[in-house]
Structures are given as C-alpha cells and as structure tokens.
Amino acid sequence: MKRLTVKEIFALEPDGRSITVKGWIRTKRETKAAVFLELNDGSRMGNLQCVFGEAEAAANSGEIARAGTGASVSVTGSLVASPAAGQKLELRAESVSVIGEAPAETYPLQKKAHSLEFLREIAHLRPRTNTFGAVARVRNRMAFAVHQFFQGRGFQYIHTPLITASDAEGAGAMFQVTTLDLARIASSGQEPDYSKDFFGKPAYLTVSGQLNVETYCEALGSVYTFGPTFRAENSNTSRHLSEFWMIEPEVAFADIGDNMDLAEDFLKHLVTVALEDCAEDLEFFDKRIQPGLLESLRKVISSPFTRMSYTDAVKELEKSPGSFEFKPYWGCDLQSEHEKFLTEKVAGGPVIVTDYPKEIKSFYMKVNEDGKTVRAMDVLVPRFGEIIGGSEREEGLEVLLGRIRDLGLREQDYWWYLDLRRYGTTPHSGFGLGFERLMLYVTGMTNIRDVIPFPRAPKLADF
RNA sequence: UCCCCUGUAGCUCAGCUGGCAGAGCAAGUGGCUGUUAACCACUGGGUCCCUGGUUCGAACCCGGGCGGGGGAGCCA
C-alpha cells in the first residue's frame, strides 16, 4: 500500500478508508482497553494518533512493545473521525511493524520537553522534536519565498564564488583556503610561498558576494545572490555564526529610496508568506517560544516601516540620555541598546536608519552632498537589532578612488571593481540580509544556532 | 576577545555553615473503561566536568584547565 504522509492524511475525509502511514513514534500511551501511538513524520507539526483496540493491541503486542519513543514504524488501519477531543482524525490501527527500534535506555530524546542547549548537543536528532521540525519547515519555506520574491520581480539569480583570491571585501576576518602544508613550512622557519599555493596567491572563503554581484548588476540590471558566507571573527553571541547564508540583491539605476522600498517590500513578503503558509508552525512558536510573535508579525506587514536619518536617530536617543550605558552622540556607532531603543521604544516596530557618518561605514557607499554622511541604510527590528545592511553605491570613479585612498586600502586590489565605474557606470543600490537573522525574526527563536541545522561558530564544528 | 552566571542521575534542577548523594520528569514493572505533557503505585539508576591544593574530612573552599548560557564588541 502507498505510504501517505500525515500532512496528506489530514487533508482527507475520515471515511474509513484503509491507509498506511510511516514515521517515528513520539509517545505511546497504554491502557487496559487501548493503546495510543502518536506518530510524526515531519510533514507537519501535528501527529497522527494511531489507536489499537483491545483485540488489535493483543494481536500486535510484540511490535507495540518495541514501538517506544523514537522508533520508526509502519502502521496500517482505517482513517476515522476521532471520538475524543484533541484531534479531528485518527487511525483505527490494525497492524504495526517496527522498522527500527530506539532503545529507551540510550535514545536521548524523551517524551518530555528538552532544553534547547541540550538539543544543540544532539544536532543529528533534534530535527525529530517539535521545535526543530518547525524551524526546518519554516526555513525551507523562507528560502523558497526569497526566490519567489525576486523571480517575481524579474531579478536574475547570480551564483557568486565561495572561494575568493581577493581579501578586499572588507566585511570581516576571513578563513584562509590553502593546500600548502603551513605547519611544516612554519616548523622549517620559512615563510609560505603563495605562488606555489593552489591558486598561485592567498585565497579565502568569501565574506560577501556583494562586489561580485555588482558586476552582474551592471549588466543585467536587477540581480541577487543567495548563498553561504563565512566570517572568521571570534564572536560568541546568539546573533552571529561563522558560516551563514546571506541574500544580497543589487539593482542598477536604483537610489537609496528604491533600496529602502525593496527591503521593506521584501521583509513584508517573507513575513506574509510565513503567516500564510507556516501557520501551524508559527502558532507553535507563538505558544511555546515567543508569546506575542504572531501579533508582532501581523503588525509588521500592516504598517509602514519607520524611516529616519542617523542624525534624527541620534537626536531621539539624546532625549533619553539616562537610559543608556553608552551615551549617544553624533558620530558614534549605534550600540545594541540604541538599536533596541529605536525599534522598541521610539518606533514600536522595524526602523530604517539612513545617512550614517562616512567614518563608520564602508568605502563603497555613496557620499552625500554634505561630504560627511553616506547613503547607507540599516533595517533594525525589535528583539535583536540589525537585520539588513545596505546602501546606494558610490558610482563616481574619482570619489571612490578618494575613499579607497583615505581608508588606506590598495587601489590595485579593486581594479575590476573600479572598472565598473570606468565603463558605463550607473547609480545602483543593494543590501545584505542574513538569512538566519530573518529566521530568528520570523520564528521568535532567540539563539541563531537554533535556526540553522548545523551551526558553525568558534569552537563549534561538530556534526 | 572582554564581563557576569553556570557544570550534581538519561533530562531539568535542589543540596544550608565543609560531615552518609536528593527531588521532579524520563525509563522499567504492575494497575487503570478512549488516552493525548495521560493518570496511580512500586523499582532500578551517580567518574558530583577534569586537575592540583587546603582540611581529620570537599559536590561545597582555593588555583589552573575544559564545556555550557547570558551580555558586550565586530557585523548580517
């Protein structure tokens, strides 16, 4: 008999049809008159309750004994309306066969709640829990929604490289990629000769696809990348990973206003899709992980994001100098506490902050007429702050060269990037969205290590 | 990298002033008229993170190390 998923089964009428379902046992409850197996196969949040009457329980007693929490089973029976509260459907089971046992003495997952910290230590089994099953389903839907959003607007998906021989991306410490035996070279007291290395020069894992994707933007108009990026920063926080997925759109002939509109539409689209297509999983997060999540997400899509310049944001902060550990002043980088204040106290929702002092932003951002600020825009959200960083890019060759020199960067490292300004330059804008930060935002989870299947962070590369 | 907290049963934790190792849940066994975080009873279960020290005596105090969490910085 064809296997039906639990999700498929819950779309059927309880007409007594005979079905077979396969999955993993979540809990088993036994009484004298009946045995209840809760079966989950990951297709949806909820389980299928398989009920064995006294006769069926007796006929299957051997297999039922082996069907403990975590065991994989195949159950056949008839689909009926449930006579008890708690579920609309259930399987009146006739037979069960255990495919793989999960001995209770050693199986780490129990039919009780576990801490997220404990589950992190068994990352290979945690997708079998409600929480991580829901995270995986939402993550899948969000990844698809990213492509749907951009493809629906005529953007081209560009695959930017993961290995780069340029250390000029300027977004943080990089992991080196080499085939040289560095330990042996060091013990012999010599310096590595990178002309002998695989690429003939030092190479690294990318920290951003932006510079590369700009080249395709200046040919195809509207483009985006969506792929893994790597940061070798020694940052130990609930908001940072060493390996994370980033979405970077880049649009030609677009200014910072267009960029803000795109970012806002993008976030609202993703939240809308989550609310519509992941309702069951989001209800779980709202109930068990982050009370108020659904309400705040609905609010996000129903009202425009607050937009303010950095200068105005600092003025807002200066009105409440006593509420901060770090006193805000014009020219300071916004601290976490400042970002939280702006989103939670001033705006009560997402805030787009623009036109930052050029000293605290990257070389490629377009300098404003005032000569002091750049057309940067950061989208800040309640709970954890920056979720998007972007800007209008400097399209003038001389201004860009000046910025590179002022910051002490080497012009020759950017020769091909500068060519984009030498030949057919255009205004253009783009931003980066950390996919895992989006996941934190949409699920209400609070640690970024819990929204990626196998987190990579300092001292953490198991599984 | 810095600051704070923390490490005791499979899990979550308690363990007072240094003096016999504890609870709840989970598991096992039995019971229970359809349960659903099932319920009731009983039973088994320990490298008190590692290491060095202080002490008659250390889970507890001190030094060092390792792991986990929260916050900060860097950022997405």
Position A330 confidence tier, pLDDT thresholds 50, 70, 90: very high
The residue-averaged pLDDT of A75-79 equals 96
What is the CA A65 to C1' B5 distance in angstroms? 44
Q: From CA A280, how far away is CA A358, in angstroms rounded?
A: 45
Question: pLDDT-based confidence at A333, cuts 50/70/90?
Answer: very high
Q: Which of A84, A100, A116 is the last residue of a domain?
A: A100
In a domain, A458, yes or no: no
* Proportion of chain A above pLDDT 90, given as a percent: 85
Read off the pLDDT of residues A96-129 as tens digits, 9 standing for 90 and up.
999 999 998 889 999 888 999 999 999 999 999 9
How many domains does the structure of chain A reveal? 2
Give the structural domain span for A302: 128-161+217-450
Amino acid at A429: S
Of the candidates A191, A186, A190, which has an alpha carbon nearest to the alpha carbon of residue A202? A191
Q: Strand B closer than 7 Å to the CB of A227?
A: no
Residue A437, pLDDT > 90, answer: yes
**Residues A255-268 pLDDT 10s:** 999 999 999 999 99
Task: Let me know whether A295 and A440 are in one domain.
Answer: yes
- In this complex, the answer to whether residue A20 has its CB under 7 A from any atom of chain B, a nucleic strand, is no
pLDDT greater than 80 at residue A322: no
Taking the CA of residue A383 and the C1' sugar atom of nucleotide B25, their distance in angstroms comes to 32
A235 touches strand B (CB under 7 A): yes
Q: Which residue is nearest to nucleotide B76 (CA to C1')?
A: A434
Please choose, from the candidates A284, A267, A270, the residue with its C-alpha nearest in 3D space to the C-alpha of residue A444.
A284
pLDDT at residue A187, rounded to an integer: 83
Residue ending a domain, among A61, A81, A100, is A100
A437: Cβ under 7 Å from strand B?
Answer: yes
Query: Do residues A155 and A225 share a domain?
Result: yes
* Strand B close residues, chain A 149-208, CB < 7 angstroms: 171-172, 208
Q: Say how far A262 CA is from B59 C1', in Å.
A: 58
Answer for A105: CB within 7 Å of strand B.
Answer: yes
The verdict on residue A184 lying in a domain is no
- Which nucleotide is the nearest neighbour of A241, by CA and C1'? B76
Q: How many CB atoms lie within 10 A of CB A84?
A: 9
Instruction: Give which of A224, A233, A126 is closest to A171, Cα–Cα.
Output: A233
Distance from residue A239's CA to nucleotide B38's C1', rounded to whole Å: 39
Q: Name A39's bridge partners.
A: A25, A48
Please state, in angstroms and rounded to a whole number, the distance separating the CA atoms of residues A282 and A271: 11
Which pLDDT score, from 0 to 100, does residue A228 have?
Answer: 96
pLDDT at A105: 86
Distance A104 CA to B28 C1' (A): 10
Domain-located, residue A181: no
Q: Report the alpha-carbon distance of residue A151 to residue A206 in Å, rounded.
A: 24
Burial state string for A160-183 with b = 16 or more CB within 10 A and e = fewer than 16: beeebebeebbbeebeebeeeeee
Q: Is the residue at A177 inside a domain? A: no
Domain limit, last residue, from A81, A100, A119: A100
pLDDT score at A2? 86
| Residue A180, in any domain of the structure | no
Task: Say whether the CB atom of A234 is under 7 angstroms from strand B.
Answer: yes
Helix (H, G, I), strand (E, B) or coil at A397: helix
Do A157 and A62 share a structural domain? no
Regarding whether A221 and A304 lie in a shared domain, the answer is: yes
Q: What is the pLDDT of residue A307?
A: 96
Report d(CA A60, CA A67) in Å as an integer: 10
Question: A287: domain CATH number?
Answer: 3.30.930.10
pLDDT of residue A169: 62
Name the nt closest to A121 by C-alpha to C1': B68
What is the pLDDT, as a whole number, of residue A171?
Answer: 67
Same domain, A135 and A30: no
Same structural domain, A226 and A88: no
For A417 and B18, how far is CA from C1' in angstroms? 69
Is the CB of A30 less than 7 A from some atom of nucleic acid strand B? yes
Evaluate if the CB of A399 falls below 7 Å from strand B: no
CA atom of A106 to C1′ atom of B45, Å:
13
Look-up of token digits 């609905």: A298
Residues 246-275 of A with CB under 7 A from strand B: 246
The rounded distance, in Å, linking the Cα atoms of A150 and A223 is 8
> Is any atom of strand B within 7 angstroms of residue A387's beta carbon?
yes
| Spatial distance from the CA of A13 to the C1' of B24 (Å) | 42
pLDDT for res A443: 96
Tracing tokens 């977004």 back to the chain, one arrives at A171
Q: For chain B, which bases have at least one atom within 7 A of a protein Cβ?
A: 1-2, 10-13, 25-28, 31-38, 67-76
Tell me the sheet residues that pair with A252.
A428
- The answer to whether the CB of A23 falls within 8 A of the CB of A38 is no
CB of A335 nearer than 7 A to strand B: yes
Q: Residue A57 CA to nucleotide B55 C1', Å?
A: 62
Distance CA A233, CA A216 (A): 28
Give the nearest nucleotide to A34, CA to C1': B34
Supply the pLDDT for residue A318. 92
| pLDDT of A247 | 97
| Strand B–CB A112 distance below 7 A | yes
CA angle centred on A152, ends A146 and A156, rounded to 5°: 75
For B37, nearest residue by CA–C1' is A112
pLDDT higher than threshold 80 for residue A6 = yes
The per-residue pLDDT for range A369-411, each reduced to its tens digit, is: 999 999 999 999 998 889 999 999 999 999 999 999 988 888 9
Identify whether residues A96 and A132 lie together within a single domain: no
Same domain, A136 and A77: no
CA atoms within 13 A on the CB side of A171: 20
SS3 label, residue A27:
strand
Instruction: For A448-459, write each residue's pLDDT tens digit.
Output: 999 999 999 998
Name the phi and psi angles at A232, rounded to 5. -90, 20
- Flag whether A41 is in a domain: yes
CA of A107 to C1' of B12 (A): 17
Q: Does A44 fall in a domain?
A: yes
Mean pLDDT score, A210-238: 95
Residues A49 and A157 in one domain: no
Query: Which nucleotide's C1' sits nearest to the alpha carbon of A248?
Result: B76
Closest CA to A357 of A378, A372, A375, A339: A372
Q: Is the CB of A87 under 7 A from strand B?
A: yes
A61 touches strand B (CB under 7 A): no
Same domain, A248 and A330: yes
CATH number at residue A86: 2.40.50.140
Residues A151 and A297 in one domain: yes
For strand B, is any atom closer than 7 Å to the CB of A2?
Answer: no
Residue A81 CA and nucleotide B30 C1' are separated, in Å, by 33
pLDDT digits (tens, 9 = 90+) for A161-220: 999 987 666 667 899 999 999 888 888 888 889 999 999 999 999 999 999 999 999 999
- Identify whether residues A371 and A271 lie together within a single domain: yes
**What pLDDT score was predicted for residue A237?**
92
